[in-house]
Structures are given as C-alpha cells and as structure tokens.
Amino acid sequence: MSVEINIGFLLLLLAVWVIEKGFSMAAMRKMQRQVCDLYNWHDKEDEDGVKVWYVRRSLEEAIKQLADNIAAQTDLLDAYHNEIILQRKMFEAEKRK
C-alpha cells in the first residue's frame, strides 16, 4: 500500500492544531521542523526504489540467505530419506531370501 503525503496540507493541519492549543510560534516552528524531519526520514529510498524506513536491505538479504539454507537442508533431508527407503527395501529383499 502506498501513501503519499502532501506536506503542505499536513503543515496546515498542524498549524491549525497548534493555534487552537495556544502554542507559541517558537514551539510551532520546532514542531514544524520535527514534522519535516520525520517526513524526510520516511521519504528516503534505496537503490531499488524501496523506502529504506520500511525494508532494510540487510534484513532482506538475511531472509534470502535463510531461505536458501532451508532449501539446501530440505534437499539434504530428502536425499537421506530416499537413502533410508532404499536401505529398507534392500533389507526387506535380503530378509526374504
């Protein structure tokens, strides 16, 4: 889901709220800077165009590595399973003789 923020509208709403609450102009300017900082932090994108705030590349890479490791372990477990089945069949055939 993509949310686009109109910073001007947000600042207008903030100004109305601040005036209603009776904050000083200095407090209002400080809050305006904080809101702009927050917006700028969330607006950063990585080289793939993904918002950095939401997805860290290192986390994405760690998850991919974990998935690869799980797939390799699954393949190994399947091979062991097939080997056990083969050994059982050979044992049963030997037992019947």
pTM: 0.43
Q: What is the pLDDT of residue 3?
A: 55
CB 53 within 8 A of CB 44: yes
DSSP string for the chain: ------HHHHHHHHHHHHHHHT--HHHHHHHHHHHHHHHHHHT-B-TTS-BTTT--HHHHHHHHHHHHHHHHHHHHHHHHHHHHHHHHHHHHHHHH-
Q: What is the pLDDT of residue 85?
A: 94
- Determine the Cα–Cα distance for residues 70 and 60; give it in Å rounded to an integer: 15
70 versus 6: the higher-pLDDT residue is 70
Percentage of the chain modeled with pLDDT above 70:
91
Domains of the chain by residue range = 1-54, 56-97
Q: What is the pLDDT of residue 1?
A: 43
Whether 27 shows a pLDDT value over 60: the answer reads: yes
Mean pLDDT value of segment 63-70: 94
Mean pLDDT value of segment 68-91: 94
- Tokens 């209002």 belong to 28
Q: What is the mean pLDDT of the chain?
A: 83
